[in-house]
Chains A and B, each alone.
Chain A
Amino acid sequence: NAGVTQTPKFQVLKTGQSMTLQCAQDMNHEYMSWYRQDPGMGLRLIHYSVGAGITDQGEVPNGYNVSRSTTEDFPLRLLSAAPSQTSVYFCASSFQGLNAFFGQGTRLTVV
């Protein structure tokens, strides 16, 4: 049972480039979320989804897009990377919003 799997683990982008962070879970959870974590801070919610075909914005959605075509996958797209998006990104899944399981994170640097 893999839980929540994020790829890649590390990524360096140039300003203006786009990319997609992948997230997959094998627990059949309907709820999935993306967070970013900056040094010395807690996690801030970017986008979340309560099921396939349903997404909504969190606290810091600007510059990011998501889609949820299947229960298992919840990719996060950076449309035009900016240095302010340098962060560690975590994907999480849960059953009805309880006890969220987190992936190991993607460390993104935008230069």
Chain B
Amino acid sequence: GESVGLHLPTLSVQEGDNSIINCAYSNSASDYFIWYKQESGKGPQFIIDIRSNMDKRQGQRVTVLLNKTVKHLSLQIAATQPGDSAVYFCAERAVYNQGGKLIFGQGTELSVKP
């Protein structure tokens, strides 16, 4: 989910469980969405993307769901592993903006307990 201020929302899961990270996006005109993973001290790393003409897209152990009616995006991680511990960001691109101008959410910190 989203938060205001310096404290990121945190999701704590047990190793092997499934994780669901949520994101509310702001612009109904956004046509493209990306999930990024950011490990401590590193740059964001692409996980999966989805266009607005799709509701669901699957990758390896990850699934992104898009609900345009309520402007909601979720990332599902199957069989969560300790290596999945990181901050996860959603990003949106508005359809009128062709400049690689992604708008990022504030992120959710995923903590995986062994």
A40 to B46, CA, bound (A): 19
Cβ-defined contact, B46 with A99, below 8 A: yes
Q: How many residues belonging to A are interface residues under a CB distance threshold of 8 Å?
A: 31
CB–CB B6/A41 < 8 A: yes
Are A104 and B42 in touch, CB under 8 angstroms? yes
B90 to chain A, nearest CB (A): 9
Q: Is the interface of A mostly helix, strand, loop or mixed?
A: strand
Size class of B's contact patch?
Answer: 20 to 34
Residue of A nearest to B44 (CB): A102
A-binding segment of B14-22, B54-62, B68-76, B100-108: B100-108
| Residue pair B106, A42 in contact (C-beta under 8 Å) | yes
Residues of chain A within 8 A of B106, CB atoms compared: 40-42
Q: What are 8 inter-chain pairs, A to B, with CB distance below 8 A?
A: A31-B99, A33-B101, A48-B100, A90-B44, A100-B100, A102-B44, A102-B45, A103-B43
3 closest A-B pairs by CB: A31-B100, A102-B43, A42-B104
Q: Which residues of A contact B (CB under 8 A)?
A: 4, 31-33, 35, 39-45, 48-50, 56, 58, 90, 92-94, 96-105
